[in-house]
Structure 1
Amino acid sequence: MKRTANFLTLVLLFLSAVSCNQLFEEPPANNPEAIFENLWATFSEEYAPFEERNIDWQAQYTKFRPMVTATSTDDELFSVISQMLATLDDGHVTLTAPGRDLFISNKIRNELIEDELFNIPIIKTYLEPGYKEGDENAYLYGKIKNANVAYIYFDYVGDNFFKMNDFLSEYPDVNGYIIDMRHNQGGDFTYCFSEIGRLTDQSRYVFKSKTKNGKGADDYTDWYEWNISPEGDYVDKPIIVLTDRYTISAGERAVMAFKTLPQVTLMGDTTNGAHGTMIGRELANGWFYSLVPQKVELYDGKTYEGIGLAPDSYSKNTLSEINSGIDMTLQRAIDSLN
């Protein structure tokens, strides 16, 4: 997994989230106890999915606050805050400081658990010569060897989704398509929603979201509904969308959209379960962190925050298969469509 959420990224996140009023607020004190208090209070006021993640934030304060004193070192403070944030197990919650490894609240992403079970070089061996790819594997698409199946991979959700139409137009006569969203790092889901119009013959409601707009527990915007709409020549062929535990954020929102399509089957592993908007904040000592001020409900009226979107057909590669150059999940998708 490319850990692109580095220090500079969170600096930019912070700057994009600061309002004019916040620029003129008196900054919090720069000492260990004040820094802990500020972070805990900000989460209390701005973090949305406590209930979805079954977390009593006051209980976390009671547990971790005594661990921080006026003489706590930076190492000790970073450790205590990281331990507290780890209770959220949220792939969108991070803590970063100069000269330190990025801490991610989600255990899978932080420890890179089974990250090696997805391998782009192996996937390329399944494609016929002449496949197309973007810089740093932003996208990868081509026709599967010895099968009437076309494949496309998206590393993130952004302008790479402009390749969707090219992909569909280049392979109009295949039996079906594989859209690989495994290890998708997220981005801006609206690119996906605008570029998959050829895959639906009607407007389809995908999810709704509401965002914190005040410090109170019930201070939210109204719910906003997100839909996909038909555009261009309709493609009515079987599609298999591949997912894994690293499919996160806008990647999951893209999967939500694919999930509304009757010709789509989800295959692979459950997604990460972190799909609300992420924003950045800065601490008085120059550390940065991110949190989630948004709730999301799928078209079925349920939230999958902290749970993830389960596949219709479960499949997970093994290390022995990967070491042998085999992507068994991809192979199962090929066999299903061929």
Structure 2
Amino acid sequence: MQRFSYTCTFLLCISLFSFYGCRKDLPVLNPPSQYMIESYNDVFESFWKGMNTNYVFWDIDTTNWDNMYRIYKPLFAQLDTSRDKSKVHKYFMNMTQGLIDGHYTLNLLGALGSTKMFYSPSAEQRKSEGRYHNRPPLFPLYTNISNNYLTPQSRIYRYTWADNDTTIFMYGEIKSATKTPSADKILYIKFNRFKLRSKYNNIRNAIDSFLIHVHDADVTALIVDLRSNVGGELIDMHFLVGNLIDKPLHWGYSKYKNGNGRLDYTPWVKNIVTPQTGGRSFNRPIVVLVDVRTVSMGEMTTLALQAMPAGRTVVIGERTWGGLGGLAQYDSPRYNGGKFTFGLSSWSDEDKPFGEVYTPSGASVDLKMQSYEGKGISPSIVVPYDEESRLGIKDAPLDRAIEYIRTAR
């Protein structure tokens, strides 16, 4: 899995701003980011305590973290900084390989003579489940859809982040199967990350066109293609789904850590999508296309669309990744959980952490209080991934979505 490829720095519920605004931050004794290290025993202590404090899934994760302490503390204490580089990696991977957190990554930066390491337990888990595949190349995929499925008026909008990470937005109308196009007007929208609102000026024409035409009286259905969507910002859920509703939409619940104890949590708080100015209720069929690489905000938005009051949303494709936590900044003073650095060591004339842990600051569930963390959202209609189909003339999941809309089955 690419480093931070599914970054989603967002808050799951706006009401949590006020909740945290009236709470004093609890002190963290000897925080992992300030734990001076001179040995691998120090590294272990700072990492274990950081996980004990910051990891938000201890109430549902089956990893016995106390047992990890009993097993690995003496093993780390025996490591020699000059010759045990491979054992460091092995121990870290063994400790974290069963974590259910779909976002979790462990990045060792190469201190104390160790080599660098980047490890994603969820990627290894998906591989062992036999359902892992890479994201298809962006441009063959989008060009295929544009050329073979959309009307000539449809467009692909490409823009680039400051870090040169390409983001693509595509909106259009599915080619009609009838001689009277208005009798079969299916709108299609696809984007590979949730950066719509923040990059609005770059894709204004496409966004405005979608927002105008999605509520045309002759529109028969909407396809929202979230396959290989890597996540992004909460504001996009309001920006997209908020234009398809005229009343606040409750789609699930979230909770955060509010103390240094392993099981110190806030109460569950409702996740609400806010209707946008000019938003109207969309009561026609919606098909959401997903795959195993749909993660984070892609999964959140899938749950929100399923909670639409008309109840006409169907999910087609593969089971999603299983990473639905909200992320804050590293060592954020606002939260008692989430991303953190651990082990402070001096080398190269700079103070740097030994490692970084990328993990959510909050956990989310659906309206029935069901968690999809580490499991993913199962589609209503399963269409397995087909590499040749995705990169060739045909696209099997998209074909199935169109068939469902036109036949209602």
Give the TM-score range, shorter chain. Answer: 0.7 to 0.9
Question: Which residue is 1:277 aligned to?
Answer: 326
Following TM superposition, by how much is the alpha carbon of 1:323 offset from its aligned partner in structure 2, in angstroms?
5.5
Question: Which residue is 2:4 aligned to?
Answer: 5
**Cα displacement string for residues 223-270 of structure 1 (whole angstroms, at most 9, x for unaligned residues):** 221112444233332110111122112222111111101121111112
Question: Which residue is 1:27 aligned to?
Answer: 35
Question: Which residue is 1:106 aligned to?
Answer: 122
Equivalent of 2:170, from 140, 164, 167?
Answer: 140
Q: Is the 8 A contact 2:156 2:168 kept in 1?
A: no
TM-score, normalised by the number of residues in structure 1: 0.83
Following TM superposition, by how much is the alpha carbon of 1:30 offset from its aligned partner in structure 2, in angstroms?
3.5
SS for the counterpart of 1:138 is: strand
SS for the counterpart of 2:402 is: helix
1:299 aligns with 2:367: yes
Equivalent of 2:270, from 185, 203, 225?
Answer: 225
**Counterpart of 1:144 in structure 2: which amino acid?**
I
Q: Structure 1 238/165 Cα, relative in aligned 2: closer, same or farther at 3 Å? A: farther
SS for the counterpart of 1:182 is: coil
Q: Is the 8 A contact 2:319 2:378 kept in 1?
A: yes
Number of aligned residue pairs:
327
Q: Is the 8 A contact 2:102 2:122 kept in 1?
A: yes
SS for the counterpart of 1:106 is: helix
Q: Structure 1 21/55 Cα, relative in aligned 2: closer, same or farther at 3 Å? A: closer
Q: Which runs of 5+ in 2 are unaligned?
A: 9-24, 111-115, 160-165, 178-184, 201-205, 328-337, 346-352
Q: Which runs of 5+ in 1 are unaligned?
A: 11-18
Tell which deviates more after alignment, 37-46 or 73-82: 73-82
Q: Structure 1 230/281 Cα, relative in aligned 2: closer, same or farther at 3 Å? A: closer
After TM superposition, the structure 1 = structure 2 runs for residues 175-254 of structure 1, keeping only pairs within 5 Å, are 175-231=220-276, 232-254=279-301
Question: Which residue is 2:331 aligned to?
Answer: none
Q: Give the percent of matched residue pairs that are identical in Structure 1 and Structure 2.
A: 24
Q: Structure 1 67/140 Cα, relative in aligned 2: closer, same or farther at 3 Å? A: farther
User: Structure 2 CA distance, aligned partners of 1:246 and 1:223?
Assistant: 27
User: Structure 2 CA distance, aligned partners of 1:271 and 1:197?
Assistant: 23
Following TM superposition, by how much is the alpha carbon of 1:63 offset from its aligned partner in structure 2, in angstroms?
4.0
**Cα displacement string for residues 108-143 of structure 1 (whole angstroms, at most 9, x for unaligned residues):** 588692125676523432323341323123322222
**Counterpart of 2:65 in structure 1: which amino acid?**
W
Q: Structure 1 276/122 Cα, relative in aligned 2: closer, same or farther at 3 Å? A: closer
User: Structure 2 CA distance, aligned partners of 1:191 and 1:323?
Assistant: 28
TM-score, normalised by the number of residues in structure 2: 0.70
Q: Structure 1 308/87 Cα, relative in aligned 2: closer, same or farther at 3 Å? A: same
Q: Is the 8 A contact 1:189 1:253 kept in 2?
A: no
After TM superposition, the structure 1 = structure 2 runs for residues 94-133 of structure 1, keeping only pairs within 5 Å, are 94-98=105-109, 100=116, 102-107=118-123, 113-116=132-135, 120-127=139-146, 128-129=151-152, 130-133=154-157
User: Structure 2 CA distance, aligned partners of 1:190 and 1:140?
Assistant: 19
CA RMSD of aligned residues (A): 3.1
Q: Structure 1 305/200 Cα, relative in aligned 2: closer, same or farther at 3 Å? A: same
User: Structure 2 CA distance, aligned partners of 1:109 and 1:119?
Assistant: 25
